[in-house]
Structure 1
């Protein structure tokens, strides 16, 4: 079972130990280490409202392209579980109440992003910069869809709550609010982050000794 978690088309699958027990230990350690990197990347942020700009999408793309789909999804799932359990791994802390945060759609979207990029890596894209970059752009678009939809729901709930509305929320234009808050500020930066992630992984792949 452990042997199938890291296909040899990925960097992790190529470099990880080949025996069952050692490979399983490496897999567990990788997932824990990856969740820590995600937590650190989420803290490197610019406090834009309502969704902060962070390095988390870059970290997810980098980890997914390196680990493959199964390990990448497990890593993101552990990260989300840590945050909902109360560990301060999200940008503004943690706890189950974070579900009501305008940015939580992006956190959920990291699962889909990890799977799409990881699957591309499983199929051999991690050594080909344009294929990997293309997969990352598709995954990033899906991430935006999650973030946009979640912000729409949160904004709608806020307008119906009767409480004072934050400055970023236009109650008469929820679509515009969601686009301005979850898509517009991030598009250019995320394209650059995906390009850097793709180049980094392909560059690392070129350093791996080729099998004779």
Structure 2
């Protein structure tokens, strides 16, 4: 059975070997290395509460755009599993308790983000900077919405939330400060991937 975990429209697909066994090995190694890259990006952070500013969304956007939906989602899933097992791969630690803490909506939202951006890349967005950037912005918007929804849900147990105005307080404390930076990160990720694709005309 053919290994079709990525497509020729992705950077990973452009360099896939012809042998099916070799493809499977390359994909597995890619997932592992990708999860480690996300962990490193998590450590590049400004430790503000309740949600630290990190480079995770940049790394996940870039990896999903380079790998496609299947490998992108698998990479994020492995990263979350590593964290759930207690490995210190998240911004300030790891473990199941961390996974259901204030950043849970964002962490699980990374799966959706990887799928959305990877799907766009599978359909040829690598060669269209504005299309890829638009997909990344849409994915980022969904990520923020999921993270915000989780923060509102747990607001009753959070001292940092003004209980008299939960929605505004949660938005101001955990979403608003990151909007401009996240747009810039998506722009950089899109330019990086489309730029790499542009210099590989012979591999398309």
TM-score, L = length of structure 2:
0.96
- Number of residues paired by the alignment? 204
- Alpha-carbon distance between aligned partners in 1 of 2:66 and 2:194, rounded to the nearest angstrom: 9
| Aligned 8 A contact 2:10 2:122 in 1 | yes
Q: Which residue does 1:181 correspond to in 2? A: 173
**Could you report, residue by residue, the CA deviation over 1:114-150 in whole angstroms, capped at 9, with x for unpaired residues?**
0000000000001110000000000000000111011
- Alpha-carbon distance between aligned partners in 2 of 1:201 and 1:184, rounded to the nearest angstrom: 27
Q: Which residue does 2:93 correspond to in 1? A: 93
Shift of 1:181: 2.5
- Alpha-carbon distance between aligned partners in 1 of 2:36 and 2:99, rounded to the nearest angstrom: 20
| Aligned 8 A contact 1:2 1:24 in 2 | no
**Could you report, residue by residue, the CA deviation over 1:136-189 in whole angstroms, capped at 9, with x for unpaired residues?**
00000000011101111222234xxxxxx2xx3211111012211332011100
- The SS at the match of 2:3 is helix
Structure 1 segments of 4+ aligned residues over 3 angstroms from their partners: none
Unaligned runs of 5+ in 1: 159-164
Q: Which residue does 1:162 correspond to in 2? A: none
Q: Which residue does 1:4 correspond to in 2? A: 4
TM-score, L = length of structure 1:
0.93
| Aligned 8 A contact 1:65 1:118 in 2 | yes
Return 95-104 or 118-127, whichever deviates more: 95-104
Unaligned runs of 5+ in 2: none
| Aligned 8 A contact 1:2 1:23 in 2 | no
